[in-house]
Structure 1
Amino acid sequence: MTGIDTHSTHSKHDTDGAQVSTGGAGEATEAIPELVIISGMSGAGRSTAAKCLEDLGWFVVDNLPPALIPTMVDLGARSQGNVARIAVVVDVRGRRFFDNLRESLAALDTKNVKRRVLFLEASDNALVRRFESVRRPHPLQGDGRIVDGIAAERDLLRELRGDADLVIDTSSLNVHELRAKMDAQFAGEEEPELRATVMSFGFKYGLPVDADLVVDCRFLPNPHWVPELRPYTGLNDEVATYVFNQPGAKEFLDGYAELLRIVASGYRREGKRYVTIAVGCTGGKHRSVAMSERLAGRLSSDGVETVVVHRDMGRE
């Protein structure tokens, strides 16, 4: 369950793509609304993400046929600022129109509309549990099983997921945690150039499916085998000191931080505004936590708005 936002421009655009003059002297300019397209797997939290944006003051349209998205942007631009932010939910319920989505996005691009796509992801197991808990069929399962519908939907959405600006995996998120993620991304009045989520995790619990970059800290000695450090986490000063006193730890932090500066510059040039960096160790409790905290500090000092998430720190 996640989200993304987009700045869009109207069909009659100026060179800045910020405001559009609709006539001669004395006529009002059209303020271009921000646009977010919410899509993703059924059961992954699209409705919750849309409700979060609605609570933050966005104008939300659910299950809008993709062919009508440019029209919605035009109407928002003519609202004299009353519709400054638009979020559109597009999913397989409108699959007859789904093929039109790419064409509509291309039409927005020709008008210099800055738009972004939010894709909500979840594991097959999590989706099956959610559908079974509400005793509803998957919209694509037909006469088959829920897993058949999930597989068909993944195939249908594969290209859209690859093109998404922001992918959020909701497999282990509850509603409150999803809302917190949405608030962190959309509550601010000004969008930063780049937002990063640095996530520590344990390899024994599986890779985060929404990670853009994954790094492995298992080359460092594990504090788990130091009896006096075992009960603590990487947030503890003694554990962090132990980790960064190991050969290669500081060099790795310096080198990877420098690499991320290069990557961040490229993301900005390509218009990517969200990145998830996963930092792993065996259990996600000591090394990855300490490294994630230091790495997030380096990113923040480089002007990247950063959120730290410790996915597996509380597990036994």
Structure 2
Amino acid sequence: MQTEQEKQQIIFVTGPSGAGRTTAVRALEDIGFEVIDNLPISLMDRLIEGQPLERPLALGLDVRNRDFSVNAVINKIDMLAEDERFDLQVLYMDCDESTLIRRFSETRRRHPLSVEGAPIEGIARERDLLQPIRACAGILIDTTAMTPHEARAEVQGWFRPEEGKSLAITIESFSYKRGLPRGLDIVLDCRFLRNPHWEPALRAKDGRDSAVAQYVAEDERFDAFFLGVVDMARLLLPAYQEEGKSHLAIAFGCTGGQHRSVALTEMLAKALAEDGWQVSKRHRELERRPESDRVLRGQEA
């Protein structure tokens, strides 16, 4: 069995137009990655099965590619994730819809999926098209509030080897009713904690809300569970890093993926970030909501 150090590192870089995909691939090129942008998917097998590269490989995937297919990309992700020769990560550069509209308006660029020229229709179509790939991404960088310089620094912070941050950590919440997310290393079931769903004042909120988080934390079993999880993470993360593991995915699951798992994801992400780890957090079920609903709930939290 190959060690992490012996594997060919491959990063798929994608996301909606205007969110920073080009900035990301250029940032990776500047820190030593072999970068190929807009490689036709039909040629990907030939590249991957060829002679091993001396440098890690970053592939930019864009819907403008003439043979782009979401199913084909997901099939490649599944194939490479199961192949012990490769260490695959999916980097998704994201941005909220209103900021994408503003960016296209300022640059006066035509959106690649906009037939009539107005960007809003193309933006919505592209975001919907890419949603299955977004769900597969191990690292999600939201550039909504970032300048290009800040986005570049964020990407390099995840992947620059000399900075010692070779272990990328993703913490995710999910609903067991919808099944487990892809590519998890550690799954923690928090359905034993009391459920804010049964409190009328909390039902419409989610685990990012301080009242919901406090309700979950007041369960008499919470402290022992959460402190145990933090202690486990602090034990395992340096060991995984020493072994050369490049990405670790931890997930909390609950019944609906709205309250308990979200609160615990937020808490663990905060604790590990305070320890100095590079952490990305995801809330799978919250991401399925309409964007306007997500924004409103995030403001309430």
Instruction: State the Cα RMSD in Å.
Output: 4.4
Report the CA distance between 1:118 and its aligned residue: 0.8
SS at match of 1:92: coil
Deviation (angstroms), 1:97: 3.0
Q: Distance in 1 between matches of 2:269 and 2:13?
A: 32
Amino acid at match of 1:48: T
Alpha-carbon distance in 2 for matches of 1:70, 1:254:
48
1:40 counterpart letter in structure 2: G
Query: Residue 92 of structure 1 is aligned with which of 58, 63, 80?
Result: 63
Q: How many residues align?
A: 224
Q: Which residue matches 1:103?
A: 75
Alpha-carbon deviation of 1:143?
A: 1.7
CA deviations over 1:165-204 (Å, ceiling 9, x no partner)? 111111111112112211220112566555369xxxxxxx
The whole-number CA distance in structure 2 between the counterparts of 1:69 and 1:214 is 40
Does the 8 Å contact 1:299/1:306 carry over to 2? no
The correspondence for 1:184, drawn from 141, 154, 157, is: 157
CA offsets per residue over residues 217-260 of structure 1, 9 Å max, x none?
35799xxxxxxxxxxxxxxxxxxxxxxxxx97xx9777645456
> Would the alpha carbon gap of residues 265 and 118 (structure 1) be closer, same or farther in structure 2, given more than 3 Å must change?
farther
The answer on whether the counterparts of 2:27 and 2:155 sit within 8 Å (CA) in structure 1 is yes
1:52-81: CA deviation from partner (whole Å, max 9, x where unpaired): 10110111111111232232223350x4x2
1:147 partner letter: I
Structure 1: state its 5+ residue gaps.
1-14, 20-30, 198-212, 222-246, 278-290, 309-316
AA at the equivalent of 1:36:
I
Amino acid at match of 1:38: V
Write the distance in 2 (CA, Å) between the matches of 1:16 and 1:185: 23
In structure 2, give the amino acid aligned to 1:105.
I
TM-score, length-normalised on structure 2? 0.59
Equivalent positions of 1:278-293 (< 5 A) are: none
Q: Distance in 2 between matches of 1:104 and 1:67?
A: 11
Please tell me whether the aligned partners of residues 253 and 295 of structure 1 are also in contact (alpha carbons under 8 angstroms): no
Whichever of the two has the greater Rg, that structure is: 1
- Distance in 2 of aligned mates of 1:138 and 1:220: 40
| Residue number among 260, 277, 296 corresponding to 1:305 in the alignment | 277
Percent of residue pairs identical: 28
- Would you say the 8 A contact 1:33–1:76 is kept in 2? no
Query: Quick one: which of 106, 118, 128 aligns to 2:91?
Result: 118
Q: Gaps (5+ residues) in structure 2?
A: 172-205, 241-245, 253-265, 281-301
Equivalent residue, structure 1, for 2:36: 61
